[in-house]
Structure 1
Amino acid sequence: MKDQKKATRYGLATVAMWATVATAFKLSLAHLAPLQLLFYASLASCLVLGLVLFFQGRLGGLRQLTRAQWRRSFLLGALNPFLYYTILFAAYDLLPAQEAQPLNYTWAITLSLLAVPLLGQKLRKKDLLALVVSYAGVVVIATHGDVFGLRFASLSGVVLALVSTVVWALYWILGARDDRDPVVGLLANFLCSLPLTLLAVLCFSDPWPGSWEGLAGAAYVGVFEMGLAFVTWLSALRHAENAARVANLIFLSPFLSLILIHFLVGEAILPSTVAGLGLILAGLGVQRVGR
């Protein structure tokens, strides 16, 4: 049943969760290495997604997946959560949260660029304008406003944040024709990624967390960022009479996130961050016009 009010409630719940994740990433990375955070967050996500499917009576959907669908899950799981979050957490480890978070929002622009060679789509004039405006915002944030001096606070962190958008866009392009139940498919992807994450944490990090604060942070990231936010966003779109009105709620998230970053992480929000974020969102807005 379509219910715009219910869709809006689900959408606002999703935005509230998304607004907290940059803060949760940064606080968790003060206690865990990026691969440790990924491993324990993935475990928490598998648990919460499994519980959601169990209480909805749909957990049996995992048993109905074909071998081809499990192979697809391994490929998609290698991209997300394994590769995507490995790169994203590394970027957050190098950058202030106020910089890493808005850079991650350029994934929609990256998606439109990759759709040209991978899906045969054409770039429209407004896509090119969106690209220029959004990446101008990236330069403003990355240089702390010194756009002509081009002195980057952490060039490697910026590169990692932008590379993460490529992985995320690839994940959505490859998963666009996935005909599985979305939540069942996501849980299958996460389950298939766990061996990769475990191997990585054993080879390149320490599987044992140093503190309960790190574990609590990883649990929060897994439950809300990787798990429930996906479920509530799907619910919002499913109930929406006007999907565009729900989709526009995502523009609230980055500004709410900056407030939380300031008060909980303790970062002084730079004018260049606000200006750059404004340009990134303006570019995304240009891209959405007419859709």
Structure 2
Amino acid sequence: MTDNRKALLFGLATVTIWSTVASAFKIALRGLDPLQLLLCACAISIAALALILIVQGKLGEIRRMGRRGTMRCALLGALNPFLYYTILFKAYDLLPAQEAQPINYTWAVTLSLLSVPLLGQRLSLKDLGAIILSYLGVVVISTHGDPFSMSFSSLPGVGLALGSTVIWAVYWIFNTRSKADPIAGLLLSFMTGFPLILAATLLFSELPSLETGQILAASYVGLFEMGITFALWLTAMKYAAKPTGGGTARVANLIFLSPFLSLVFIHFLVGETIHPATVAGLAFIIAGNALMQYKPKKRA
């Protein structure tokens, strides 16, 4: 099998799995509150990431990070998984999945906005147009196609979904400076974030009863949202970066399939009737993301 085909297969597998997680969130939240879900899912993801490192023979990478790298990953654990997933799961608890999922997809636009104060970058007219398109899509989705009514399914839910994109963008910006192995760094962040999640659960909720259905739902989220897919995506990009891999851009563009495919799963697995405004708003968000990434070819 060629590197090109391997890159596409790993990329498509990752995108397909990612497309199911919004449905998994809603199903899991039927029996668990957001903190309980995060506690269980984080524990499963720690085990999955550790097993991946053991299989790859890279568990020693954690010891080789050095004091600065270890501290960076540990501090990042407060952002991801603790703050990010606490806010995200609460947004899914308040909103229909078909609204929370597309709004969360605006994190790339939020990343561009935060790059101005945090990285000193400048926004072009193209970037501003992309931002307007994406947030117009958020308004269309959250008001069910009637933006002038300003009537939301849950205004706090919309605020939390947008807030989660800020946390994720900040995490992404600071994580890019890390020189640690990506999976080892993620494992360390999850290990240091877990005590924070446990403390918050004990203070503001209670330990889950661990019924079979709850364990299965939380395990799926931990394995496929927080664990295995990260390794699959890195593998896809590794093959794509090889001379015969076809380039990383083509694999990266597969991510645009995820939100639309996710709506299909939400309809059939969660039972939500997909509102036309959701599809229209998502189209605005995808167009904004695509415009943000578009770079015109220079003439020779």
TM range (shorter): over 0.9
Q: Give me the whole-angstrom Cα distance separating, in 1, the residues matched to 2:69 and 2:33.
A: 32
* Helix, strand or coil at the partner of 1:144: coil
Provide the residue aligned with 1:146 in structure 2.
146
Q: CA deviation at 1:176?
A: 1.1
Instruction: Please say if residues 32 and 208 of structure 2, whose CA atoms lie closer than 8 Å, have aligned partners that are also in contact.
Output: no
Q: Does 1:102 align with 2:107?
A: no
Q: SS of the counterpart of 1:209?
A: coil
Under a length normalisation based on structure 2, what TM-score does the superposition of the two structures give? 0.95
Which residue of structure 2 lines up, in the alignment, with residue 262 of structure 1?
267
TM-score (norm. length: structure 1):
0.98
Q: CA deviation at 1:65?
A: 2.7
Q: In structure 2, what is the equivalent of residue 40 of structure 1?
A: 40
What is the 5 A alignment of 1:131-170?
131-170=131-170
1:31·1:211 contact (CA, 8 Å) conserved in 2? no
Letter of the aligned partner of 1:212 in structure 2?
Answer: T
> Aligned AA for 1:92?
Y
Report the counterpart of residue 86 of structure 1 in structure 2: 86
| Distance of 2:221 and 2:14 partners within structure 1 | 13
1:145 partner SS: coil
Q: For residues 239-287 of structure 1, give each alpha carbon's deviation from its aligned partner in whole angstroms, at most 9, with x where no partner exists.
A: 1131110011001111111011001100000001010001100111111
Letter in 2 for 1:89: F
Q: Could you tell me how far 1:82 is from its partner in structure 2? A: 0.5
Tell me the CA shift for residue 132 of structure 1: 0.5
Aligned pairs for 1:6-45 within 5 A: 6-45=6-45
- Contact 1:32/1:210, CA 8 A, preserved across alignment: no
What CA distance in whole angstroms lies between the structure 2 residues aligned with 1:39 and 1:67?
27
Shift of 1:210: 5.5
Residues 82 and 197 in structure 2, CA contact (< 8 A), matched pair in contact too: yes
Contact 1:80 1:189 in 2 (8 A): yes
Q: Identify the residue that residue 286 of structure 2 maps to in structure 1.
A: 281
Render the CA deviation track for 1:183-221: whole Å, top value 9, x for unaligned.
Answer: 111101101101101101111111123532111111101
Match of 1:250 in 2: 255
Does residue 223 of structure 1 match 2:223?
Answer: yes
Quote the residue 1:209 is aligned against.
209
Matched letter for residue 254 of structure 1: P
Deviation track 1:105-127 (CA, whole Å, cap 9, x = no partner) reads 00000000000000000001111
For the 8 Å contact 1:106–1:134, the answer to whether it is kept is yes
**Alpha-carbon distance between aligned partners in 2 of 1:32 and 1:278, rounded to the nearest angstrom:** 32
SS at match of 1:64: helix
Q: How far apart are the structure 1 equivalents of 2:143 and 2:210?
A: 34
Alignment deviations for residues 134-192 of structure 1 (CA, whole Å, 9 cap, x no partner): 10000000101111111111100000000000000000001111000101111011011
SS in 2 for 1:178: coil
Q: CA deviation at 1:67?
A: 2.4
Q: Structure 2: give runs of 5+ residues left out of the alignment.
A: 241-245
Q: Determine whether 1:198 maps to 2:203.
A: no
Structure 1 letter corresponding to 2:235: S
- Tell me the C-alpha RMSD between the 2 structures: 1.3
Distance in 1, matches of 2:111 and 2:3, equals 30
Q: Distance in 1 between matches of 2:210 and 2:49?
A: 26
Q: Counterparts of 2:233 and 2:83 in 1: how far apart (Å)? A: 23
Equivalent residue, structure 2, for 1:77: 77
Where 1:32 maps in the other structure, the secondary structure is: coil
Residues 179-194 of structure 1: matches in 2 within 5 Å?
A: 179-194=179-194
SS at 1:63 equivalent? helix
Question: Match of 2:110, SS?
Answer: helix
How far is the alpha carbon of 1:31 from its aligned partner?
A: 0.5
Work out whether 1:128 is the aligned partner of 2:128. yes
Aligned partners of 2:69 and 2:179 also within 8 Å: no
Equivalent position SS for 1:65: helix
d(CA) in 1 for partners of 2:34, 2:239: 36
The residue identity in structure 2 corresponding to 1:284 is N
Distance 1:77 1:89 in 2: 17
The runs of 5 or more residues in structure 1 that have no matched partner are: none
Q: CA deviation digits over 1:85-114, x for unaligned, max 9?
A: 000000000000000000010000000000
